[in-house]
Copies of this chain bind each other. A is one copy, B any other.
Amino acid sequence: MSHRLLTAITRSIARPSRRIVVGAIRSSSTCNDPKHSKQPHFPCVDAHAARESRLAASISSSSPDQSQSGPEPPYARPNPASYHTYHHPSPLPLAYYPTPLPSFNIAYESWGTLSPSKDNVILLHTGLSASSHAASTPLNPADGWWEKFIGPGKALDTNQFFIICTNVLGGCYGSTGPSSIEPATGKPWATRFPILSIFDMINAQFCLLDHLGIKKLYASVGCSMGAMQSLAAGWLHPERVGKIVSISGTARSSPSAVAMRFAQRSVLMADPNWNHGFYYDGLPPHTGMKLARQIATITYRSGPEWDQRFSRKLRPLPETDLPAPGFPRTPALCPDFLIETYLDHQGEQFCLKYDANSLIYISKAMDLFDMTLPTLKSLNLKTSSPSSTQNGVNPDAQQHKTSHSKSHPPPVNPPPHLSDLAAGMAPLAHIPTLVLGVQSDILFTVEQQRELADALRMSGNENVSYYELGGVWGHDTFLIDVLNVGGAIRGFLS
């Protein structure tokens, strides 16, 4: 048994057994249990220890080969035959560091047929935790995360377009990220991985496009973080992006969105299993991941949806737990309302499906995203725009003109950062852009959608299509509303 494996088992078993001993001491102190209640039970808390034990057991039963790198959640054992992988053997410059990333892999999938002139390509960008599997393929027939939006006659029409979706740099589904092996050490990068910018992700994607011989995209399309990437692609390579689609995104992360992602990173990093990010030869921080996903889920949907879907309904009780006739149902501190069981379930489903460090790094990249000119100037970025200066910023950017029509009047009393944003977005002034947002979105608020459209118009972009959707689905609308989201995209791309 390897030293790593032994350490992992020791760590995993130490905690549950300590819990059990402590519990035993406590229960002996409550033998004079009062009339009120039985000894309290907390299945929602015990579930964490039970998961830990299952994971520990999976180590000890794993084959010697697997044990070399510790017990791995499913994401760490992807089937490389189910997607394509591009290996880039040379260094990638990074926005926040003088030293480049030595080399990297990008996992990708595609749909449709590449035209002989390679002019029908749509690059589709994912949200935070999605993989390249946006739709089913012959290599992987499982439904993808945007199954209903990709295909013949759909929003991204495979009769017309060749669609490429990558797993982002920093992710854990085949592209290089914190869980990947660092060439210099032969061990996982963990938190020695450099903090990424959304722009770094785009530069990695364009290395893939170069490899594929694709000179210009018909369109760059993305939702949520993918919308940030979509805008960043246009900024870095304005001559290589024909159209931009930004659904429920932003050009400048708001402090309230940073706050909500900070809360998720905090609970994750407080999980002792996280161990400063060096958990790849031990047990992953599954409890922190579950708690983080519960918080995230709150930001993905909306109060009005839950009013309709759950209201104040309680979970059904097993017959043995039903109160006696005429007595009220005793509440529980563990999930009791349906909204609680829903959040618990969402966390449970996700907690072993994604790498914790990838979540931390990618959510941080979202926080850092800011296309105001002063921020862009401070980064180590180069654009392919011929009009750009050495540091990638257009010197004419400050002298923006406005392109507001009567139906889109310029904002009254625009805040100072809006001018900075318009200046920063000047390279996108000639790219037709669709901005679509959702009024019930609490993560990328509708105010941010208006800000984005205003900044683009102030930068001189005369081809900004802007839509706001109603409905109660909040941020997740882009995953659900095929009719309205799909329709707007289809109209804009045609």
Contacts and interface: CB of A to CB of B under 8 A. Distances in A.
A158 B98 CA distance: 65
A254 interface: yes
B312 A252 contact: yes
A258 B98 contact: no
Interface residues of A, number: 101
A14 interface: yes
A333 B182 CA distance: 20
A77 to B, nearest CB: 22
Given A19-B272, A26-B278, A256-B306, A343 B263 contact: yes
A274 B253 CA distance: 35
A11 interface: yes
Interface string A1-21: 000000100010011001100
Q: Chain B CB within 10 Å — which of A14, A35, A190, A255 has the most?
A: A255
Interface stretch (A56-64, A66-74, A324-332): A324-332
Interface in A4-62: 7, 11, 14-15, 18-19, 22-23, 25-26, 29-30, 32-37, 39-40, 42, 44-45, 48
Contact of A96 (B7, B44, B328): B328
A187 B445 CA distance: 49
Contacts of A384: none
Contacts of A291: 263, 266-267, 270
Interface stretch (A212-220, A360-368, A483-491): A360-368
Nearest to A416: B311
A306 B254 CA distance: 9
A209 interface: no
A266 B295 CA distance: 10
A307 B380 CA distance: 26
A326 to B, nearest CB: 9
Interface in A285-337: 287, 291, 294-295, 298, 302-303, 306-307, 310-312, 327-333, 335, 337
A115 interface: no
B262 A328 contact: no
A74 to B, nearest CB: 22
B367 A259 contact: no
A269 B43 CA distance: 11
Contact of A185 (B32, B194, B276): B32
A18 B26 contact: no
A315 B17 CA distance: 41
A402 B223 CA distance: 46
B378 A328 contact: yes
Given A11-B22, A194-B37, A45 B276 contact: yes
A303 to B, nearest CB: 3
A306 B307 CA distance: 27
B184 A306 contact: no
Q: Chain B CB within 10 Å — which of A14, A23, A32, A34 has the most?
A: A34
A99 B298 CA distance: 36
Nearest to A95: B328
Interface in A155-196: 182, 184-185, 187, 190-195
Contacts of A195: 330-333
B25 A7 contact: yes
B255 A331 contact: no
A234 interface: no
Contact of A29 (B23, B187, B337): B187
Interface string A358-377: 00110010011010000100
A306 B252 CA distance: 14
Contacts of A378: 328-329
A339 interface: yes
A46 to B, nearest CB: 9
A45 B269 contact: yes
Q: Which 9 pairs across A and B sit closest by C-beta, in order of nearness? A: A256-B303, A255-B306, A255-B339, A40-B191, A26-B278, A34-B184, A35-B99, A262-B340, A195-B331
Interface of A: 7, 11, 14-15, 18-19, 22-23, 25-26, 29-30, 32-37, 39-40, 42, 44-45, 48, 95-99, 101-102, 182, 184-185, 187, 190-195, 252-256, 258-260, 262-263, 265-267, 269-270, 272, 274-278, 287, 291, 294-295, 298, 302-303, 306-307, 310-312, 327-333, 335, 337-340, 343-344, 360-361, 364, 367-368, 370, 375, 378-380, 417, 442, 445
10 contacts: A15-B272, A33-B192, A37-B194, A40-B190, A45-B270, A255-B310, A255-B338, A262-B335, A262-B337, A295-B295
